Amino acid sequence: MPLLGIIILNLPLGGVMRKTTFWLCLALFMAQICLVLAPNMNNTGPFFKFDLIIDELSRVVLFCIALVSAVSLLAGEQLIKDENRKFNFASLLLAVVAGMNGVVMVKDVFSLYVFLEITAVASFILISLFREMGGLEAAFKYLLLSAVATVLMLSSVALLLLLSGDTSFAGINAAIITSPHSHLIMLAIGLFICGLFIKGGLMPFHGWLPDAYSASPAPVSILLAGIVTKTAGVYSLIRIMTLVFVFDDPVKYVLMFVGAVSIVFGALAALGQSDLKRMLAYSSISQVGYIIIGLGCGTVLGIFGAVFHLFNHAVFKSLLFVNSAAVESQTNTRDMDKLSGLAEKMPLTGVTSLLAMLSTAGIPPLSGFWSKLLIILALWLSGHYFYAVVAILASVITLAYFLSMQRRVFWGKTGNEFRGVREAGIYLAIPALILAAITVAVGLIFPFVINMFIQLPDIIALPAGRQGG
C-alpha cells in the first residue's frame, strides 16, 4: 500500500496529486490500521504470494507503524510550510513505512536486511530534509554508523548461509539447533545482534541517535523516536531472538547487560540535558533498554512485557515529541532553562505531557506502569534480582528528569516573552489527545484484559524444550 501510494503521488497529473497528498497518505495509514485490526489479515489474496509473517506480534508493530506515521504526517502538515518540502516529506514517509512494513513481515534474514536498508536510506534523507547544518551532520553520523551495521549484518547473513544453506528463519534455526555451540554460528549471531544494537541506538552503539532525534525536523523526530528505531532495531531483535537464534545463557547475559547499561546511562544522560529534544532522545535510549532487558530475560513473561513496552513506548514517546514540537513552534526555543509557565498558555500540551511523562516513569495506572511491572516481575521470577533492582531504581531517575522538565517548561510563572503564546494548532492538538487517550485507556483496561486471557503461572517460563519463543 505505501509503495502504491508513492507511485500514485508521483504520477504526472499536472500537480493534482500534490494537492491531495496529505489526505491520500492519511487514508493509507488509516487503511493499514483497519487491516491490522481485521480478523482475516492473513489472507493476502490470489495475486500476492509473498511468504510473510502476519502474527500477533506483527499486528502490534504494524498498528504502531501506521499510528505514529499518521501522527508524523499531521505534524508535518502543521509545521512544514514549503509545499515542495511537504510533498517530499510525504513521499519519503511512505518509503519509510514501506520499509518498516517489510521488516515486520519478512521470514528470511536477507529480506530483513534489504527492508532495513530501505528504512535507513529514507530516514537519512528525512533527517536532512531542511538541509540545515545540524540535520546534515546528524544524517552523516547515522549514515556512517548504519554502514557499520550493514557490514556486520551482511557478514552474519553470509556466514549463516554458508552454515545452513538457507536464509529463511526456519532453515537457520534448524542449523543452529543442530550445532548450537559452533564458533562460527556464535560469531554470526554476535555480528547480527551488534548490527541491530546500532539500528536501535542502544548503548554503547548510540552515537548517532541523540543528534538524529534533536537535529531532525519535528515531524521526523516523531517518526524516528516513535517507531523507526523500534522497528529497525528492537522489533527485529525480538523477531530474530524468538524465531531464529537460541536463547542460551551467553546471549541472555549480553542482552540484559546492554539493556541495563542503556537504562542507567540513558537516564543519567537525560538528567543533565537542557535541550528538550535531546533529553527525550536519551530518555528513548533508556526506555529501549527496558525492552531489551525484558527480552534478555528469555521467559514468555519477559518477552510479553518487552513487546508491550515497545507498544507503550511508541505511544508515549510520540506524544512527548509532539508536545516538544508544539513548544518549539510557539516559543522558538527548546532550551528548557529559558522556558517557564507554559501550562497556563498551553494547557492541553501541559496536561498531555504530564500524562506521557508519568507513563514513561511507570506510574500507575497508566500503560507504562504495566509493561514495566511485567518486565520487573519477569526478571525477579527468573532469578535476575540485580537487574530487577536496576530497572526499579532507573524508573526513579526517569521520574526525576521528567519532573525537572515539567517544572522548567510548564510549571511556575509565565515569562514576559511568552505571554502571547497559545496552543500550537489542531494538527498537533489532535495527535496529542489521541495518544494521551491511548495511554490512559490501555492503562485502565489492561488489568482486565490480562486477567481474562492470561494466567500468570502459565507465562512465567517457556514451554519445556523450547529456547525462546
Rg (CA), the chain: 21
Give the least confident one: 67-76, 141-150, 247-256.
Answer: 247-256
Q: How far apart are CA 227 and CA 235, in angstroms?
A: 10
pLDDT score of 2 more than 90: no
Q: Is the pTM of this model over 0.75?
A: yes
* Confidence grade of residue 453 (pLDDT, cut at 50, 70, 90): low
Under a CB-based contact definition with an 8 Å cutoff, are residues 310 and 259 in contact?
A: no
* Confidence grade of residue 109 (pLDDT, cut at 50, 70, 90): confident
* Confidence grade of residue 435 (pLDDT, cut at 50, 70, 90): very high
Rounded mean pLDDT, 27-54: 71
Rounded mean pLDDT, 183-205: 86
Under a CB-based contact definition with an 8 Å cutoff, are residues 57 and 239 in contact?
A: yes
Distances (CA, A) of 146 to 143, 202, 216, 343, 361: 5, 13, 17, 39, 30
pLDDT of residue 454: 53
User: Which residues are bridge partners to 275 per DSSP?
Assistant: 335
* Confidence grade of residue 14 (pLDDT, cut at 50, 70, 90): low
Rounded mean pLDDT, 112-120: 89
Helix axes 133-164, 183-200, angle to 10 degrees: 160
Rounded mean pLDDT, 156-175: 83
Query: pLDDT tens digit string along 46-86?
Result: 444 456 778 888 888 899 999 999 999 998 888 888 888 88
* Confidence grade of residue 464 (pLDDT, cut at 50, 70, 90): very low
pLDDT score of 457 more than 70: no
Domain residue ranges of the chain, discontinuous segments joined by +: 248-469
Q: How far apart are CA 266 and CA 305, in angstroms?
A: 20
Q: What percent of the chain has pLDDT over 70?
A: 92
pLDDT score of 437 more than 90: yes
Rounded mean pLDDT, 290-305: 88
Rounded mean pLDDT, 132-139: 83
| Three-class SS state of 245 | coil
From the list 150, 141, 163, 79, the residue with the least C-alpha distance to 119 is 150
